Amino acid sequence: MSATKAPHVVLLAGPGAGHVLPMAEFARRLAKNHGFTATIITHSSLSSPTQMYASVLASLPASVTTAALPAVPLDDLPADARVETRMLTVVTRGLPNLRALLAELVRQRGHDVVAFLADMFCAQAFPLAADLGVPPYILFLSNLVLLSLMLHLPELDGATTCEYRDLLEPLRLPGCVPLRGADILDTIQDRSNPAYALMVEAARHFVLAHGFVVNTFDGMEHDTIAAFQELLDKGVYPPVYPVGPFVRPCSDDAAAQHGCLRWLDDQPDGSVLYVCFGSGGMLSVEQTAELAAGLEACGHRFLWVMQFPRDKDSSAAYLDTAGNSDNDPLSFLPEGFNERTKGVGLCVPKWAPQVEVLHHRAVGGFLSHCGWNSTLEAVDAGVPMVAWPLFAEQRMNAVMLAERGGMALRPASGKDGRWVVRSEEVAVVARELMAGEKGKAARKKATDMQKVAAEALTLEGPSRMALAAIVNKWKGAHGGAGKEPSSLLLRAMAPVHAQAHAPHMVVLTSPGAGHIVPVAEFAARLAAHHGVTATVVTFTNLSSPKHSSPLATLPPGVSVAKLRR
């Protein structure tokens, strides 16, 4: 295959619109600004495209194509299986179809395929890309605090026995705001749940990545980025490329079509509190009633995007597993609520064009679940927040926004997410954000962060420079180098240190490629980054010719010895 064609990247999205949309924006930037072509692979299982999901994919340039993996059976999973269990199961069961699709893409495009970027829920696909000679990366669509937690998770799993919410001391990850145990990722708060083991296993694949392309920016996580760079310099982690924020531009089409924007046109500047818990966040019936009463009592205008209430699983709507897609969530409002708030509030069922809403001049605050996409959209619009996390990493995000960023307030009674926030507290925090001194300070922080985010994407901005770094790396691999085994890529990335009097390590592998390949990679990193020489000892028994490929490409300083039968 000739290398005269554009470099091509393959992106594997996790199930759910919240994973597809920012990945689509990243692909759009690669195509528009750097001349790349791309294929975005989605999962048919658990994906019911929302209005915005479908329109964004349809609006991608011709150089960005999409492919959907066939649905896989999930009827053997318990009815109460966590969202993360469903997502990871979909990815695992879809690997055979993914293997065939990747092989066909590589066959068609050859050396033009320079990188495979997987969502954080899809890292188990890395060996498939590696087998085809395509270097794998994680396109991490949340923040570096969560990435740091995932990288530390296997170690935490082995070092602790209690539930993380019961930790006596805050978790202090390098460069991150200290996290109370109760604020750590919701998915891993129950070790007995199958989702916990699946997440730990997924985290073990992270270190196989050649780098992390992250939807964040320096002004948002400066200390954490610095900590990652220090760990990279020590050879602990692969490089991190903070290239965010990924926020789609406002659409004139959405503005012309949705009635809530016309309603906002009639409201005074900065007067409306926008209330939305994302496409998947659900409140209980009781909490819905308390929120309604609090909004009614707060005395401020509001626009509330409602999901169908759900008493047990606040994430049930994320993958449309609630079974209520045809019902009207507005029917759960308190009797007479719409009449009493007419002219002051507007309730919208299920969905609103959030980017356009946040950028509307009438919106002065955002009561949010703190999903990372929503957080970055608020930053992009310069809108302060009330942080009301529900599930996933949202409590971690809330801590970062309130305690480090200063652009969010939190209801005092709901900080652990374990009980109902009463209407009185809703009214208090809404008033404070919209008209109080703390709200004024949060608005100033949000405006400042908006400017920093915009500067990050300018020609000389840190996010633009980080994207240029990874793009140049991929372009340098275009035409054949990108097809070489990962050990050769490591040699290209870092100088091979002089081997005179170098420390030497002997590594004995178990039989089988699954043991030999990562050991070879580890030895290559020792040689490339730390000047350590090594001997990899393998067994002749149970070995097949395919095992020799990673061993044949090891860098100088790493030798191989085979134990005879």
Quote the domain boundaries for residue 342.
252-455
Residue 85 is predicted with a pLDDT of 96
- Domain tally for the chain? 3
- Note whether 524 and 542 are same-domain residues: yes
What local confidence, expressed as pLDDT, does residue 320 receive?
Answer: 55
Residue 517 located in a structural domain: yes
Whether 307 and 355 map to the same domain: the answer is yes
Tell me: do 71 and 55 sit in the same domain. Answer: yes
pLDDT for res 337: 97
Looking at the structure, do residues 207 and 261 belong to the same domain, yes or no?
no
Return the pLDDT at 2: 44
CA–CA separation, 10 vs 65, rounded Å? 10
> 420 and 320: one domain?
yes
Residues 49, 167, single domain; the answer is: yes
Within a domain: 319:
yes
Examine the fold and report which residue of 412, 446, 477 is the final residue of a domain before the chain moves on. 477
Query: What does the pLDDT read at residue 113?
Result: 97
Q: Does one domain contain both 451 and 461?
A: no
324 token code pair: 């209520």
Task: Give 280-304 pLDDT, tens digit per residue.
Answer: 889 999 999 999 999 999 999 999 9
Q: pTM score, two decimals? A: 0.82
pLDDT at 3: 47
Q: Would you state the pLDDT for residue 527?
A: 72
What confidence score (pLDDT) does residue 91 get?
Answer: 96
Alpha helices in 478-531 (DSSP H): 486-493, 513-530
Q: What is the pLDDT at residue 525?
A: 67
Both 290 and 384 in one domain: the answer is yes
User: Do 105 and 13 contact (CB within 8 A), yes or no?
Assistant: no
Which residues of the chain fall below pLDDT 70? 1-4, 46-53, 254-256, 312-326, 414-418, 479-502, 512-515, 517, 519, 521, 525, 528-531, 539-553, 556, 563-565
Q: With b meaning 16 or more CB within 10 Å and e meaning fewer, what string describes 330-360? A: eebbeeebeeebeebbbbbebbbbbbbbbbb
Residue 150 lies in a domain: yes
Summarize pLDDT for 242-290 with one digit per residue, the tens: 999 999 888 877 555 799 999 999 999 999 999 999 988 899 999 999 9
pLDDT at 12: 98
Instruction: Give the Cα separation of 234 and 222 in Å (integer).
Output: 19
Residue 2 inside a domain? The answer is: no
> What's the CATH code of the domain at 74?
3.40.50.2000
Q: Known catalytic residues?
A: 19, 119
What integer pLDDT is reported at residue 184 of this predicted model? 97
Please list, in sequence order, all residues whose beta carbon lies within 8 angstroms of the beta carbon of residue 425, skipping any fewer than 6 positions away.
Answer: 294, 411, 412, 413, 414
- Domain co-membership, 338 together with 444: yes
CATH code, domain carrying 553: 3.40.50
| Same-domain pairing of 435 and 465 | no
* pLDDT for residue 316: 53
288 belongs to a structural domain: yes
Domain assignment present for 1: no
Residues 285 and 381 grouped into a single domain = yes
Same domain as 518, residue 401: no
Residue 318 lies in a domain: yes
Whole-angstrom Cα distance, residue 536 to residue 516?
Answer: 9
Helix (H) or strand (E) holding 109: helix 95-109
107 falls within a domain: yes
